[in-house]
Chain A
Amino acid sequence: MKTLLIASSLLLAGSLSLATFNSAQAKAPAAAPIVPVVGSFAVDAGHSSVLFKIKHKNTAYSYGRFNEISGTVDFNEADPAKSSVTVKIPTGSVDTNSKKRDEHLLGPDFLDAKQFPELKFTSTEVSKLGDTWRAKGSLDFHGTRKSITIDFEKTGESEGRGGSKVLGFHSQFTIDRTDWGITYGPGALGNDIDVTVSLEVAGQ
């Protein structure tokens, strides 16, 4: 009888625990539905990068970067056509790990930074193709405005310090420097410049 009572108590306790667990499970919130991100964002210069590479004497790639960047992104995941991107890069912030070369790059032979202090991309049309985003727009560079199409991906999203939404984007594209009138050193330097842009933008 004593054994029966112990077994019954254990069974009851187990049933209660299971019931409590099931009840707790039933009360847990369902996984949040994916809400399309819509909003205006500003480029976070501290967590964004603009890198470029160009072939030297058709032999090896030389890398450089621009150390400053600013811009805004109006991002609309629900209606990609309502999105827009503006990115500005001061040409004076070029950095190729050689002070003398940077000085030459800033002069009239290349970037002509004193005459054209800013490089600017302004989108005119944004669309989404599967997981890839596409921004068509104009690139103002070296006193020349030309149309350009840039594909990019959304690399992630998180929450910033003040609770604002933070998004990440990444893009790689190639431009022909001679299209923008930078023709100096055709034998020594390739015409193609491979550009990598990684943007972190924070909600405004």
Chain B
Amino acid sequence: MDPIQILLNGVLAPAVAAGLLFAIGWKAWRKTGDEADGRWIGSLAVAAAFALGFLLMLGTPASFLPDSEHTPTGLDWVLWCSLPCALLAPFLARPGIPFQLLRMVLGAGLVRLVLSSQFESTWVGQAGLNWLAGLTALFLVLWTLLERLASARSGLHGPIVLWLFAAGFAILAGLTGSAKIGQLGGTLAAALGAAVVIAWRKPGFQLAGGAAAMVSLLLFSLGLNAYFYSYTPAIDILLIASAPLFALMPVLLHKHWSVTKKTIASLALSSLPIGIAIGRAVVELLNEVDEYDY
């Protein structure tokens, strides 16, 4: 697929789809005054944009039905998991212990499915349980951080910070071994780019509730693929994963700052670990003596 096709299929089409759905959701929310209306369509917008980009770039994912001659890959599972989660995410984003427990179940299911081959061949017995518990906990931490960022302020802050994470991850994954994962990260960034445009035009727009949950799920599961099935170094994954913490600092520590000031500070701080991770990947690439291309 040439670069123009990748841009059309993996960026433009998902961005338009997400933008339309975000706009519909925002209008519904504004019209009824019920925040929940916007939440439902927010998670659907992110999931639909991701699914569209996936189908246009990579084709139909392998079926998980028992009689299929194909075995779904970790990336196929990201798409399969994203569709039911798009419906569940706004529900699970609610506060309360029962919803927290359901989040945990969702996270464990996601980890188990995306890393099926690891659990079936490498992590047997107690090791499997340890990995499942550890990765589920990491997923819940990421979800909580992104949800906190998305709900901290309305307007550009949430969408643009989330966009930065997705774009940073996409570049890193593309540079460190898998164009496919990079392109899917780019599709997620495109969907969030549409949210940035809407938030810029309509400052009351928010990604909290459903959309941030979907972004957490997609970023986390793509990250699992990049680390466990590709060659993205652990240190770079951790640097990108730490970016939400940096972005939250101005929100938590400088409550008196204006939204614009907080947004700029969040972007600047979270750019540090993302920039270091991408910089490391670029240096690695430039130092590579064994050159090839397709």
Q: Which residues of A contact B (CB under 8 A)?
A: 56-57, 98-101, 103-104, 107-109, 112, 114-117, 143-146, 181, 183-189
Interface string of B179-196 (1 = CB under 8 A from A): 111000000000000000
Q: What would be 17 A-B contacts, judged by CB atoms less than 8 Å apart?
A: A100-B292, A103-B177, A107-B177, A107-B230, A108-B73, A108-B74, A108-B180, A108-B181, A108-B230, A109-B178, A112-B229, A143-B62, A143-B72, A146-B69, A183-B58, A185-B294, A186-B1
Interface string of B140-156 (1 = CB under 8 A from A): 00000000000000000
**Residues of B contacting A101 with CB < 8 Å?**
290, 292
Nearest 8 pairs of A and B residues by beta carbon: A143-B71, A188-B294, A100-B290, A115-B117, A101-B292, A107-B230, A107-B177, A108-B178
Q: Is B257 positioned at the interface, with any CB of A under 8 Å from its CB?
A: no
**Cα of A109 to Cα of B117 in the assembled complex, Å:** 17
In the complex, chain B residues 52-102 whose Cβ is within 8 Å of any chain A Cβ = 58-59, 62, 69-75
Apart from A101-B292, A103-B231, A107-B231: 12 A-B pairs, beta carbons within 8 A: A56-B294, A100-B290, A103-B177, A104-B177, A115-B73, A117-B121, A143-B70, A145-B69, A183-B58, A183-B59, A184-B180, A187-B2
In the complex, chain B residues 211-240 whose Cβ is within 8 Å of any chain A Cβ = 225, 228-231
User: Which secondary structure dominates where chain A touches chain B?
Assistant: loop
Q: Are the C-beta atoms of B290 and A115 separated by less than 8 Å? A: no
Residue in A108, A145, A185, A186 with the greatest tally of chain B CB atoms within 10 Å: A108
Q: Look across to chain A and name the residue whose beta carbon is closest to the beta carbon of B179.
A: A109
Closest CB of chain A to B57's CB: distance in Å?
9
User: Which secondary structure dominates where chain B touches chain A?
Assistant: loop
Q: Which residues of B contact A (CB under 8 A)?
A: 1-2, 58-59, 62, 69-75, 117, 121, 177-181, 225, 228-231, 288, 290-292, 294
Closest CB of chain B to A68's CB: distance in Å?
17
Q: Are the C-beta atoms of B71 and A100 separated by less than 8 Å? A: no
Q: Are the C-beta atoms of B229 and A107 separated by less than 8 Å? A: yes
Q: Are the C-beta atoms of A100 and B288 separated by less than 8 Å? A: yes
Given known contacts A107-B231, A114-B228, is B2 in contact with A181 (CB within 8 Å)? no
Q: Are the C-beta atoms of A144 and B62 separated by less than 8 Å? A: yes
Given known contacts A103-B231, A115-B229, is B73 in contact with A143 (CB within 8 Å)? yes
Q: Look across to chain A and name the residue whose beta carbon is closest to the beta carbon of B182.
A: A109
Q: Are the C-beta atoms of A108 and B225 separated by less than 8 Å? A: yes
Closest CB of chain B to A110's CB: distance in Å?
10
**Residues of A contacting B69 with CB < 8 Å?**
144-146
